[in-house]
Amino acid sequence: MLPEAVAAMTEELSLTGNASSLHTSGRRARRVVEEARERVAAALGAGPSDVIFTAGGTEADNLAVKGLFWARRAQDRRRVRIIASPVEHHAVLDALDWLAEHEGAVVDWLPVDAVGRIDVDALHAALARDPESVALVTVMWANNEVGTVQPVAEVVAAAHEHGVPVHSDAVQAVGQVAVEFGPSGLDCMTVSGHKLGGPVGAGALLARRGLDLVPVLHGGSQERGVRSGTLDVAALRAFGVAAEIAVRDRAEVAATVGALRDELVRLITAAVPDVVLRGDPDPAGRLPFNAHVTIPGCEGDSLLYLLDARGVECSTGSACQAGVPQPSHVLLAMGIPEAVARGALRFSLGRTSTRADVEAVGTAIGPAVERARRAGVGAFATEAVRS
């Protein structure tokens, strides 16, 4: 967390007040929440009344996808189709699967290219095929694994031609690339506090006023009646502070961290020449804090532990099902064969990353890959024979 956000949250934690209470402490807490709302809105090019606070990105994604689906279907029973990218975060992906399984939703998955960017022509074609049946379109602003930025403006233009609302998960984009809710034309957009220097467990769905959303949570009718629950004043205050700073400093931090990321990729490539950089190689098309590679002949999970033992913490993007690591759905959607996708590693940098950090990865990765390859030789040989 940003030190300013820690300070704001720490101070607030020792103060009393439920923002829905009418007494003096309650009114004070309400003022804090409304200030946070104004800060988040101003940072993201939105109006304060667009901001619906939630307990993070997962909740905002669920509210967007389920809330919009239910509201649109209630207006017209024919609207059961959802057009979505297959590279969404699980918070969207699994909400869509749930709607398909339990609520009769039919999901049209858009094809993505080799860098993970959706095919806008396919979106036009899917919309033109019976537009009356489309409840919503959901395409993330930028991908959390490979960092590819999606053509959000084109998505909005295409969907709005048919009067279809659009949601975008901008959790990874805010603080890394320019994100402005109002000018984007989006109907709703997800943001999360802990990706921009704020606390875990605070986030928001920005939803333009008048957008009909059926609540997922029922209770005290806070937040325009669509997100019940006592507001976490301390976390929201810190979220507001962090959002303001993350956006204020974005261009400078993105340039510095982006240069470090490029150096990281250079060092990894020097140590492991057959490494493949995934996502858009053009810096304009990818998040500056992200480096994603696949390393042939290695299990990403083995590499992760070997690097961890050398003080380097990264992730693979693979999910674990019944104790067996499954390759990332993002890489598979990009057309990468399963055996290659297993060798995935994602490095995330941030505003506190240093040249020494990047050099430490450059030193650690060669020996780790060598060891993972030696350990994996048997397993890979068996797999090659099988396929």
The contact set with ligand PLP (CB under 6 A) reads 56-58, 61, 89, 91, 140, 144, 169, 171-172, 192, 194, 203
Least Å from the CB of residue 295 to ligand PLP:
23
Residue nearest to ligand PLP (CB): 57
Q: Whole-number minimum distance, CB 172 to ligand PLP, in Å?
A: 5
∠ Cα 146 189 87 (to 5°) = 30
Q: Smallest gap, in angstroms, from Cβ of residue 178 to ligand PLP? A: 17
Buried b (16+ CB within 10 A) or exposed e, 327-354: bbbbbebbebeeebbbbbbbbbbebebe
Residues 303 and 345: beta-carbon distance below 8 Å: yes
342 and 325 in contact (C-beta within 8 Å)? yes
**How many of the other CB atoms lie within 10 Å of CB of 85?**
27
**Beta-sheet strand order (sheet of 81-84):** 51-54, 203-207, 188-192, 166-169, 134-138, 81-84, 106-109
298 is a catalytic site residue = no
Q: Which is nearer to ligand PLP, 2 or 91 (CB)?
A: 91
Residue-wise burial string across 93-108, b where 16 or more C-beta atoms lie within 10 A, e elsewhere: bebbeebeeeeebebb
Catalytic member of 188, 298, 314, 320: 320
- Structure-block tokens of residue 161: 């031609």
Instruction: Name which of 140 and 149 has its Cβ closer to ligand PLP.
Output: 140
Sequential DSSP letters for 301-339: HHHHHHHHHTT---B---EEETTEEEPPHHHHHTT--HH
Taking the complex as a whole, the smallest distance from the CB of residue 139 to ligand PLP amounts, in Å, to 12
CB-nearer residue toward ligand PLP: 30 or 286 = 286
d(CA 232, CA 90): 25
- Cβ distance to ligand PLP smaller for residue 144 or 222: 144
DSSP 48: G
Minimum Å gap between C-beta 297 and ligand PLP is 28
Q: In whole angstroms, how close is the CB of 201 to ligand PLP at the nearest point?
A: 7
Tokens of 251: 């261009």
d(C-alpha 137, C-alpha 161), whole Å = 12
3-class secondary structure, 196: coil
SS3 98: helix
Q: Which residues are catalytic?
A: 320
